[in-house]
Structure 1
Amino acid sequence: MPVLRDVVGHEQVKKRLKNALTGRVNHAYLFGGPPGVGKKTAGLAFARALLCQRGKGDACGECDDCTISERGVHPDLHIIRPEGASIKIHQLRAMQDGAAFTAFGTGRQVFLVEQAEKMSLAAANCFLKILEEPPSGVVFILITDDLSGMLPTVMSRCQQYRFGFLSGEEVLQVLANTGTDAGYDDDSARVAATLCGGCPGRALAMLNGSDKRGAMLELLMRVVRERPGSVFAPVEELAERENLAGFINYVILFFRDVLIWQITGSTELVINVDRHSYIVELAGAYAKPEVMDILVTAEKASGRLASNVNQRLVLDSLLFKIAGLGDNDRG
């Protein structure tokens, strides 16, 4: 379990949390922001500091409470997660019952609620009643990716902390902190840090293969290599709007690299350096004006998809451009 001083980025948030630890601790905190930026990491670090016997502004890392919490088995730290699609009312009632018991260690209990926006309405109302009359010596930490999904009355009773995106260098630092045995090289880490949009969680997903980047790039290369016939083939992988949005994003990023390679012949500004052979292949398959047309079409497709235009129309316009077919070739 981390300590606050080792949490990468979010300096203003960490400063406020450290001030709370040396001053007055509130009964409820809400950590909101995009997924994968480190909210849960910060929440666990804050919880560890709250349970520390000797720390001032952070966990000391040496006391009995810190030793136990580092192993993830502290009896006064309780983590609530969704059961299936939501956090159920029986989970909140169990939390309410647990909060009534005396703490084992410092006299404080911490309840950390992951994906707090997934509380059912009944669960949220139950939690609201707990916040209105908070038990003594209990601190609640709510983690959410979607503040709009939170009950406003619950939010109003929490101290709110907004987490933003990290810089590329900060993402690289997070990746480095995962250890040298993680199984990826520096080039792969740099690609992931560039493509993740400031979300180290997403970067780690790319590196461990649980994201869809590889599949989307292979799909793109299949469309390119089998053109023009590929434009008429069914593309089941892009049936979901989220997958189509991801595909369009990778088309933009990849053809950007192709254009840079065509202009400079250098990989210095290339993002997808781990797919250099693909970039060279595409650079030989398309002239610069064609690459520019694909980029413009992909940018328009991204905007149209965000405006809820029919997905098939958005996909067709992009596939026809990649396949080198004009408007007159569609009928």
Structure 2
Amino acid sequence: MFVLVISGSDVSKIPGVSIAGLNPEVIPYTAPADADLLLWGKPHVIDAIPVDPQGHPTPAIITHAACCEAGFPILIVRSGTYLPPVVPYIEMNVEPGQDPQTNQAVSKVELLVEKSKSLGQILGKSSKKIVIAESLPGGTTTAYLILKALGYNGMVSSASPVNPVKLKEQIWENSAQRIGIKPGGLSGDPMKAIRELGDPMQATVFGMVTGVLEETDIILAGGTQMLAVAALLRHAGYNKPLLVATTTYVIRDKFAHFLDLARQISVEIYSAPLDFSQSPYPGLSDYEKGYVKEGVGAGGAIWYAEQLGVTPDRVIRKTEQLYHAMIKKN
């Protein structure tokens, strides 16, 4: 089972944080459009492919290509997006996360985690492998806040070739001042960390993982956002093996400390060997220059496809075919 958790946070509205949409008005459509594209092959909530300001397509196209080739089942979970997708989904009935510089980030976090735990229990009874992915504009920033509060040292990744490091550090300073903590100040208290600094996606994935049966394999599909979820689980006493599946682009990100953070959190890593360097489409070949990097579980989808006998090269070729068809229609 491939589960995509779509979510929202007011952190994405802070100028300079997210390049998930062409402009601030588009950001609320990004996550639901990713869900539409993943399940149905094109967005329906908005009549356009989600792109960054330079026109690079959402990594949902890679995840969709992997699904097309491998045929794995997909479930969409809506946890606090500004708008719902058009495709069928499970509704967690929560609001988008708030800006932790001025407010608690996630209200009723205990209830959200409990509901998510029940969902994990249900899914764990029907699947031996569950790959959990996310789509959340601004999510690397909330991931940074969580990691910092739990006491981990290192910078998170970014969808941009130039990571807005100074901005993320300033958001941390402002948020920490509101709460009255220093780095590591919420170590051992994952629920408070999510409540004060996190986002609904983190709470949902955290709950799902704790609810899944012991014999079911869990793969966290994403970059530093899923490292933050893994860190929360570790601070809740979750000692089972965890695999975070990402892309080679996140591993190579010179602004981030992915491998060092993974070592600190004690998680295993899978790096999807994507290579669009020979692609005739700049929207895809620019992934090699540090644009986008990861999202919508692209790395985890490649991992899942490989488990089902589909090579990364097949997924790359399918991605190019899908992208060609999409730009031709537009």
- TM exceeds 0.5? no
Structure exhibiting the larger radius of gyration computed from Cα positions: 1
Say which structure is richer in helix.
1
Q: TM-score, normalised by structure 2?
A: 0.26
